[in-house]
Structure 1
Amino acid sequence: MHSPYIVELSEQNFRETLEGSMQTPVLIHFWAPMSQESSQIIPELQALAQQYEGAFTLALLNCEQEQMIASQFGVQALPTIALFINGQPVDGLGGPQSISAVQELLTKHLPSQDELNLSKALEMVKLGQYSEALSLIETLTPSLQESGDVKLAKADCYLETHQFDQAKTLLEHIPLEYQDGYYKSLIAKLELHEQAANSPEIQQLESALENKPDDLEVINKLALSYHQVNRDEEAMALLWAPLARDLNALDGDLKKSFMDILSALGQGNPVASKYRRQLYSILY
């Protein structure tokens, strides 16, 4: 099986592979074609390496072909499994083993699936893959989601995906010891949004609407201004009130604005889903 997580050990690469355990644990499986127990577990070990997606490297050593290396490790019986971390053997199993026994050995020494997912999500945040990172963070256990560094990463994702209210709520509950440079940069991003979201133009339109609550022109302009600064829930609510009474209000301009914003928000957006359902309930 060709995989970046699986190597065939030989004299040419065994030193490099062991040095690799300084970064990623290496599980060496000593086997030989003559030992059925050692060869028949190989497909399961390969599947396990794929499942762990690089959390460890599986190194297969054919002791018949590589007798010199096998003797250097002092292997007494087949199969033998040894786990190397930081260049040193830290654990192992001798004799025929079930794949669950190998998993138990790995669980003792490797990060949990949650920790792996968190590490992957934090990497995604660095790469600017905010939606994907947020989806992964939301699969973590509640206790892990409560940690300060996870809250900061989640707030970052919320800001970058324009979910500003959720970001604000999270940032209000960041423990003091996590209020570092990263936290301050997120607060600054939020403040910039809030300033833009409450521009003089918006304030003027809001004031005009207070004076004339039924002015459809003002409603339309204010809703579009809200949408431009990602205040989409307010924009949709503003447009929906007159549209629920008359779908052709303002000669169809309100409906056009409503549909344009729906389209811009896309299929997965919860605000869009809510108002799409309300629209369908009138149409059908």
Structure 2
Amino acid sequence: MIDVTIENFESEVIEASMTQPVLVDFWAPWCGPCKVIGPILEKLEKDYAGGFKLVKIDSDQEQQIAGAFGVRSIPTVILLKDGQPVDGFMGALPEGKVKEFLDKHVEPGEAQPEEATVEEAPLDDSPEARLERFQHAVATDPSNDDARFEYVRALLLAGRTDDAKVAFAPVIAKTSLVRRFDSLQRAMDALDFAASTPDANKALADADARIAAGKRDFDARFDRARLLLAAHRWTDAMDELLEILMRDKAWNDELARKTYIAILDLIEPPKPKVADGQIPPDDPTVATYRRRLSSVVLS
């Protein structure tokens, strides 16, 4: 993979395409889908072992080149042969679709994907890797509600609230139909409430004073729970919501119970892989707080 600018465009793209297909990836650092398609193209360049040459062009920095190719959105991928563009696509296609695209233009003798000769590397399960996988899944299949939930949740847990709202926008109409989407909306509402509070510590102290003056000041307790949620003090927030539930389960259209469930949905980690036939263990904290909720609601 080569980064191309106006200075080396002629040699690295036009001249190079005279001897082998050149795949041009127009991207930008701020573009989320570009971060999905980029690694796929780099992997396929290795798999095709010389069948084509991959170059990347930053469309923000090289607007003259992007304009010459009529690039209107990114990622845009264009294939050149013999100095001329012959085909292209826009958006973050899955690997299989990109291979179908390449196979239409790469002669059978030019490139044969190499067979894997080493064991598959262990899955990277870090928060950053999970976020990237979910982003890829949503870009590949925007109708995948499970992937979208996980992607938005990962963004919220990473503190990227604005990005989470953008990712959530296409399914906001489903909030009343999909329980976990409702949970995401409630979490974002709590974050908005906290963001509108100039001094969170003072707001917590004020809520404490109001609660001390009246144990049934549920508005104060709920404000306190939202501030704690925004600070990622999950169990403290759920403890405060339980205080409301123990006194009035139906308060404000069951707002405390629904917000409590939203926290559980937000913090429950993905289930680890286990041997076939076994049931993966529950997260201890989530399991404990589910039992507490059941005990209070059913009492």
Considering the TM-score relative to the shorter chain, is it more than 0.5?
A: no
Give 1 or 2: higher helix fraction.
Answer: 1
Question: Which protein shows a greater Rg?
Answer: 1
Q: TM-score, normalised by structure 1?
A: 0.37
Please report the TM-score for the alignment, with normalisation by the length of structure 2: 0.35
